[in-house]
Amino acid sequence: MAVPISDCSDSTLVRRACAGSDEAFNVLVRRWEKKIYTHLAHLTGRADEAFDLCQEVFVSAYTHLGQLRDPERFSPWLFQIAHSAAYSYFRRIHNAGPELSDGMQVSGSSRVRLANGTVLERPEAKLLVEKLLAMLTFEQREAIILKVYGGFKFEQIAEIQNCPLSTVKTRVYSGLEQLKRLLDK
Amino acid sequence: MGCPDRKAKLIDWILGELPPGEEEELRRHVDKCADCAQELSGFQGVRDVLKVQLQDREMPAHLVFLPEKARELRPGFLAQLWRTAALAAVAAGVFLAVVLTGFARWGRQPLTALPTQTAALTRAEVAAIVNQELGLQWAQQKRELETSREKLAADLRREQAHVLVPITEQLQYLQSAQSVVWKETQKENAYVELIARSSLGQEASPARRP
């Protein structure tokens, strides 16, 4: 019995899309659009810009799909495109840090307890995290978001950011230490 | 604070990057080291705050994927070939437009469209057109003839002036020379006459002597 296309793996869908199946690429879009959008929203801090960049990412992915040598590595490759798009965005606006949120919706539960025992309501925690992330460099912020939100391994983040593994570790360690110091205050 | 050489391992641990063999050893160390335990707690707090915050966000809308539009953007050999061909055609068109415009402006104007005849002409209309054309030609020839005649007359006058002036001067010279000769002749005659009379007077006077 044939597997429904929506249940196919990324690599299978990539191969089918490369062979000309628009349906396969549509499944990939549906599968990854939210992840890419959220990643870009965290990076930029702007929902509208994140949505536009998200479209750019998938258009770029479609046009360059034939250049993906290993279909198994579709998601790091997609985040690599998102990295380039976000980097171009920040270069375009000449702004190292993202602006504060413009009303993005967040779902999930309610309270956050900090290490020093402080309990924050979710909107407060949201603002706090955005402010803290805005204090990091673009590369630190992206590496931490890729790690904590994207769940990528350091090696994959190095591939996405196109830098050595040691550089990624340094970015993550220094970024987390900086966040810890700020939260302890 | 803590063990500096273990800080990276603590972060690796809370991020799931620590090799399985090292996890148990680090756990035993943290159980005994209060500083490392506090460090670990602090990093876990950061991670938890981030995890709570960094969650999926609702998109304002799903992406609408238009294969036709996206396919236009896909750089393939055929697409590049078509793009190259299109550019070549545009370039050739521009070149031809420039050449033909220049030829039409400075050349023999080969692009002038011939007037189209919408209906046949009657004999009278043809005759009128022929007469009109003949009249125009005759007037043109007349103008040319008059111009030519005026030009010839001017040339003749110029030539006559060129020839007559020296003739007139020569005639005037001859006239003045003849006048001088005539005057000299008159004087000479007068002298001759005087001499002749003198001679005749001398011959007559002895005869009248007693």
pLDDT at B207 over 50: no
Query: How many Cβ atoms sit within 10 Å of the Cβ of residue A179?
Result: 24
Are A17 and A64 within one domain? yes
More reliable by pLDDT, B25 or B84: B25
Measured at the CA of A86, the angle between CA A80 and CA A89, to 5 degrees, comes to 145
Task: Return the number of other C-beta atoms located less than 10 Å from residue A5's C-beta.
Answer: 14
The answer to whether residues A122 and A148 belong to one domain is yes
Residue A158 has pLDDT above 80, yes or no: yes
pLDDT score at A121:
64
**Region A48-63: what's the mean pLDDT?**
89
Packing angle, helices A165-184 and B7-14, rounded to 10: 90
Looking at residues A53-58, what average pLDDT do you find? 90
pLDDT, residue B80, reads: 59
Q: Which residues of B touch A29 (CB under 8 A)?
A: 63, 65
pLDDT value of residue A99: 42
**Domain coverage including residue A59:** 8-94
Chain A residues with CB under 8 Å of B53 CB are 106, 112, 125-126, 129-130
Closest by CA to B50, choosing from A152, A101, A112, is A112
Task: Name which of B49, B61, B75 is nearest A114 (Cβ-Cβ).
Answer: B49
Residue A171 is predicted with a pLDDT of 93
Which pLDDT belongs to residue A107? 39
Classify residue A105: in a domain, yes or no: no
Domain ranges of chain B: 4-52
Residue A155 lies in a domain: yes
* Pairing, β A111-113 against β A119-121: antiparallel
| Chain A to chain B Cβ contacts (< 8 Å) | 120
A31: left (phi over 0), alpha (psi -120 to 50) or beta: alpha
Answer for the pair A80, A162: CB distance below 8 angstroms, yes or no: yes
Residue with the bigger pLDDT between A166 and A99: it is A166
* Dihedral angle over CA of B1, B3, B9, B10, nearest 10: -40
* pLDDT beyond 80 at A108: no
Q: Which of A34, A125, A179 sits opposite B56 (nearest CB)?
A: A34
Is residue A103 situated within a structural domain? no
> Domain count of chain A?
2
Indicate whether A18 and A88 sit together in one domain: yes
User: What pLDDT does residue B98 have?
Assistant: 83
Residue A18 near chain B (CB below 8 Å)? no
Out of A41, A62, A172, the one facing B57 most closely (by C-beta) is A41
Instruction: State the nearest Cα–Cα gap between A38 and chain B, in angstroms.
Output: 5
Q: How far is A183 from chain B (nearest CA, A)?
A: 8
Please state, in angstroms and as integers, the Cα–Cα distance from residue B79 to each residue in A91, B54, B75, B85, B86, following that order: 30, 41, 6, 10, 10
Q: Please, are residues A57 and A79 in contact by the beta-carbon 8 Å criterion?
A: no
CA–CA separation, A14 and A154 (whole Å) = 24
Q: Tell me how far apart the alpha carbons of residues A18 and A182 are, in angstroms, rounded to a whole number.
A: 47
For residues B129 and B12, give the distance between their C-alpha atoms in angstroms, rounded to a whole number.
Answer: 105
Residues A127 and A171 placed together within one structural domain of the fold: yes
pLDDT greater than 60 at residue A166: yes
B56 and A107: CB-CB below 8 Å?
yes
CA distances from A131 to A97, B123, B183, B210 (A): 10, 98, 139, 182
Last residue of a domain, one of A64, A94, A124: A94
Residue B83 has pLDDT above 90, yes or no: no
pLDDT tens-digit map of B138-172 = 898 889 999 988 988 988 888 888 888 888 888 88
Are A135 and A75 in the same domain? no
Closest CA to A159 of A95, A37, A74: A74
Contact B66/A at CB under 8 A: no
Calculate how close chain A gets to B38, using CA atoms only, in Å: 9
CATH number at residue A170: 1.10.10.10
Place A79 in a pLDDT band, splitting at 50, 70 and 90: very high
pLDDT the model gives residue B208 = 44
pLDDT, position B203:
58
In this structure, the answer to whether residues A12 and A89 fall within a common structural domain is yes
The pLDDT value recorded for residue A106 is: 39
Coil vs helix vs strand at A121: strand
CB proximity A128 to B under 8 Å: yes
Do residues A57 and A118 share a domain?
no
Better-predicted residue by pLDDT, B32 or B116: B32
Query: How far, CA to CA in Å, does B11 sit from each of A139, A170, A175?
Result: 18, 11, 11
3-state SS of B76-95 is: CHHHHHHHHHHHHHHHHHHH
Classify residue A146: in a domain, yes or no.
Answer: yes
Q: Whole-number mean pLDDT of chain B?
A: 79
Question: A50 and A41 in contact (C-beta within 8 Å)?
Answer: yes
Q: Which residue has the higher pLDDT, A178 or B112?
A: A178
Q: Are residues A39 and A90 in the same domain?
A: yes
Note whether A172 and B15 are within 8 A (CB).
yes
What b-and-e string marks burial along A57-88, b requiring 16 or more CB atoms within 10 Å of the CB? bbbbbbbebeebeebebbbbbbbbbbbebbee
Nearest alpha-carbon partner for A52 in A42, A41, A62, A61? A41
Q: Which of A25, A33, A43, A173 to mutate to test the interface with B (most CBs of B within 10 A)?
A: A173
Pick from A86-90, A104-108, A115-119, A145-149: least confident: A104-108
pLDDT at A173: 92
For residues A140-157, give the mean pLDDT: 89
Q: Which of A113, A124, A120 is nearest to B42 (CA)?
A: A113
CB distance A132 to A142 below 8 Å: no
Could you tell me if A108 lies within 8 Å of chain B, comparing CB atoms?
Answer: yes
What the block records as the tokens of B158 is 């110029």
Q: Which of A28-37, A87-96, B26-35, B57-66 shows the lowest per-residue confidence on average (mean pLDDT)?
A: A87-96
Is the predicted pLDDT of residue B209 greater than 50, yes or no?
Answer: no
Q: What CATH number should be reported for the domain holding residue A62?
A: 1.10.1740.10
Which of A45-49, B147-151, B198-202 tops mean pLDDT?
B147-151
Tell me the average pLDDT of chain A: 81
pTM greater than the 0.90 cutoff: no
Distance from the Cα of residue B40 to its chain's centroid: 79
> Are residue A84 and residue A15 in the same domain, yes or no?
yes
User: Would you say residue A104 has pLDDT above 90?
Assistant: no
DSSP state of A106: B
Kindly state the average pLDDT of the residues B205-210: 45
Domain presence at residue A149:
yes
CA A174 to centroid of chain Cα atoms: 19
Residue A107 lies in a domain: no
Q: Which of B36, B48, B63 to mutate to test the interface with A (most CBs of A within 10 A)?
A: B63
Q: Which of A9-23, B12-26, B30-44, B156-170 has the lowest mean pLDDT?
A: B156-170
Q: pLDDT tens digits, residue range B97-137?
A: 888 777 677 665 555 555 555 556 777 888 888 888 888 88
ipTM over 0.95: no
